[in-house]
Chains A and B, each alone.
Chain A
Amino acid sequence: MKQLRITFLLAILVAGLLAANLYNEFYKANAKPPENIVVAGKFVDLSSMTLRQKIAQMMIVYGNPDDKALYQQMNIGGVFLTAMDTPEAFNQTTNLFQRDTKIPFFIAADVEGCINPFENFIKFPALHEIETDEDAFTIGKAEGQLMKELGMNMNFAPVVDTKDTIWNCRSFSGTSDEISGKAESYVRGLQSQNVIATPKHYPGKTLSVRDPHRLLTYAVIDSSDTKPFAKSAEAGAGAVMISHVIGSGAVDTEGKPAVTSKKAVTTLKKNFGGLVITDDINMLGLIRYYGWSDNRYIDLFAAGNDVVLDVASSPDKINHIIDVVEKAVWDGKIPASQIDNSVRKILKAKGFTPI
């Protein structure tokens, strides 16, 4: 009798797990592009998007091809790609992501020179090896050209921190003025190929401040740190990436990671009309401040960032983030108009006219 009871319970467990597995596969296989979003040529009716779809459009996530259908259904804004063996592999992936989309994905990567996802088939010099503004333009243009050929439209580069004492290769070398000149030229070169440049990591000093106790990262920011960002903005950079540094001095982040400081983001936006993109939100600089609380997500969106980068979370986790932010909007913690403004900027960056 006891054995029979165990058999019965195990059978229910197996049936439940089988149903869950089948539902998972069915859902992935039948995810469809959102039909409610109205796109007519270059015009997008913003009011046809739900709040959840708008929040999703503000996210760039890890570009797993298996998740494409789900992310398309959610209206995710972009995907981040990592190294592949061949140019053909990249093209296959980018074509898959952009197939049958109403609103194309941002397709982004870190192409920084010494960090190079194409390194298996093409080398680029490290930014710190670039000596002149002309070379910076030429290399920016070459990287942009390749990215365009591979179907990518956003580069999380150039690194314009004035010092890089951690990797020793990621940033341009020289004085703040020299770095600013190279940054400006690189941005012009890259964007001449219709690839969005994302100078990083605002407000600076992200690659030179080490915390021996592995806690939060504090830095005193001065004008030499922010000048490369100002010059990049003058060059028309389409985006800038904001870091988790807790800043004081020229950029006051209110004792919080810059990425969640409304003051820091607002200050940045006063002189920069492009997209403000967060550094990846799973880094310890942010997690150590917030722990695993959902407040992290609320503050990221409330601060006024236009795009939130999350390359570690699964689709389920991304869905949860959208749940949290949606509720925060309904609760009045994040103005709906702020979400709308960011989505307008995103759509314009993608070549649309939001109406």
Chain B
Amino acid sequence: MGKLAILNVALLVAALALFLNLAGPADMTANVVYALDKSEPKCIFEYRGLQSAIDDINQCCFELQQQRTCSQETAVNSDYVCSNSDYGAKYRVNAKTISYCKIQGYRLNVK
């Protein structure tokens, strides 16, 4: 590969890194994940054993942003569980919801 070609590749990588720093890598990943995932966003609120679906997905995002952490889980109907503690209210959501919320600008603490 000629020296100019190598330089061009390096400049391209630098441009990408600077662009991601401005746009936010989380936003870019979320956009890609959201586009590839063909499922519907799901959000289930769980408190003291009772579960309820949150239909307004933006409302769900608002609530998820308030949670201390969102951790991955292997469950039939959810990919993540978001909560403030081990014993209180929980939100069980799928990956589509997580990526949707990130695209909308909500800050989620996903671990």
Contacts and interface: CB of A to CB of B under 8 A. Distances in A.
B58 interface: yes
B55 A13 contact: no
Interface residues on A, range: 35 or more
Contact of A83 (B62, B67, B105, B106): B67
A83 B47 contact: no
B11 A64 contact: no
A6 B107 CA distance: 38
Given A14-B18, A21-B22, A211-B55, A7 B12 contact: no
Contact of A11 (B2, B11, B19, B56): B11
A168 interface: yes
Contacts of A210: 55
A21 B62 CA distance: 29
B98 interface: no
B18 A62 contact: no
A310 to B, nearest CB: 9
B76 interface: no
Contacts, number: 114
A40 interface: no
Contacts of A120: 68, 84-85
Contacts of A118: 84
B105 A10 contact: no
Interface in A307-336: 311-314, 317
Contact of A115 (B54, B59, B63, B68): B63
Contacts of A285: 56
A114 B47 contact: yes
Contacts of B11: 7, 10-11, 13-14
Given A10-B8, A313-B105, A168 B85 contact: no
B15 A287 contact: no
Interface residues on B, range: 35 or more
A286 B58 CA distance: 10
Interface stretch (A94-102, A248-256, A264-272, A276-284): A276-284
B110 interface: no
A4 B66 CA distance: 51
Contacts of A11: 11
A197 interface: no
A115 B107 CA distance: 18
A185 to B, nearest CB: 23
Given A3-B2, A169-B89, A211-B55, A126 B47 contact: yes
Contacts of B14: 14
Interface of B: 2, 4-5, 7-8, 11-12, 14-15, 18-19, 21-22, 45, 47-48, 50, 52, 54-59, 61-63, 65-68, 83-85, 87-89, 104-107
Interface of A: 3-4, 6-7, 10-11, 13-14, 17-18, 20-21, 24, 62, 64, 82-85, 110, 114-120, 123, 126, 166-169, 210-212, 214, 280, 282-285, 287, 311-314, 317
21 contacts: A7-B4, A10-B8, A10-B12, A14-B15, A20-B22, A115-B66, A116-B84, A116-B89, A120-B68, A120-B84, A123-B87, A167-B47, A167-B52, A168-B50, A169-B48, A210-B55, A283-B62, A284-B56, A284-B57, A312-B105, A312-B106
